[in-house]
Amino acid sequence: MSFLLRRAGLSFLCLILATSCAKAAPDKIWTQFSGDRALAHVQRLVDLGPRTPQSEAIEKSRAYIKQELNSSGWRVTEQPFTDETPRARVRFVNLIARFGTIGKTTDLFLLCSHYDTKIFDTFRFVGANDGGSSTGLLLELARVLTQQPRLAEKIELVFFDGEEAFENFSNTDGIYGSRHFGHELGQDGSAKSFRGGLLFDMVGDRSLDITFPPNSPTKITRDIFASADALKLRNYFTYFDQDITDDHSPLNAVGIPVVDVIDFHYPPWHTADDTMDKISAQSLQIVGSVAAYYLSEFAFK
């Protein structure tokens, strides 16, 4: 009788432990991404107003981004630099974040967004989609990634300043932050530490249509399509009909295959109408979920 009771007790204990472990195990991270949370981040940024380089609003944006990342365990480093623009010499600040106390130094994956907005002298431009949506998405993705610490330690987050041209995109005007970041990686040889990356830009359009540039790195793009297929979201992802100059360009130039995840079919682009009512939590949910699935199931396979 005593033996049977002990055996029954042991079986019950094992059942409790197994149940506890099952509950403690993190869910698939793509199910944890919240479009509502991402949208709330965008709202906080848009509430600051135009976030142009060297402005008080972009300083507050930096503080907000750093606060949110720090609160979920990411260590943030500022990368300040100055560059000539058509208007003046301007100070920019990229934000670079890594998870954990030590982290990997090789075989890393980049996740990027720009957090500045374009300067317009004739109207107020708050960039809800252009500058806001990708930053909100990346902040939420950063939170979700921490639920798989070993995965998060392989990721480097970069928030670029100065993506927007002061006048017109050229070799010397626009994508200031990514050009500086890429140059630094090329100079010290650390570009080879990265196996690839995703750049997010204008990902919140209510009428979502992600349009990869036709020259996107083949394997990453194929795996993103497969991720979207797995989540039954493939119809939101396609190719654009022409090349796009964006923050992925300087990274590709130094040998890091980076895909530009962008919806370039966006009528309010660079107008006063790029406001919160033009973007949605659902669109952010779609892109964020697919990105999280890709990172978990494909990026390091």
Q: How confident is the model at residue 104 (pLDDT cuts 50, 70, 90)?
A: low
Is 5 a residue whose pLDDT tops 90? no
Residues 243-252 pLDDT 10s: 999 999 999 9
Reported confidence tier of residue 216, pLDDT bands at 50, 70, 90: very high
Instruction: Please return the burial class of 232, using the count of CB atoms within 10 Å of its CB with bins 0-12, 13-18 and 19+.
Output: exposed
The pLDDT value given to residue 2: 40
240 contacts 213 by C-beta, under 8 angstroms:
yes
List pLDDT tens digits, range 19-66: 433 344 466 999 999 999 999 999 999 999 999 999 999 999 999 999
Residue 8: the pLDDT is: 41
CATH class of 28-297: alpha beta
In the chain, domain spans: 28-297
Q: What is the pLDDT of residue 103?
A: 60
Can you give the pLDDT at residue 102? Answer: 64
Query: Residue 234 above 70 pLDDT?
Result: yes
The answer for residues whose C-beta is within 8 angstroms of residue 260's C-beta and 6 or more apart is: 199, 201, 212, 213, 216, 244, 246, 247, 248
Whether the predicted pLDDT of 78 surpasses 90: yes
Query: E strand or H helix at 198, and its extent?
Result: strand 194-201
pLDDT band at 14 (very low <50, low <70, confident <90, very high): very low
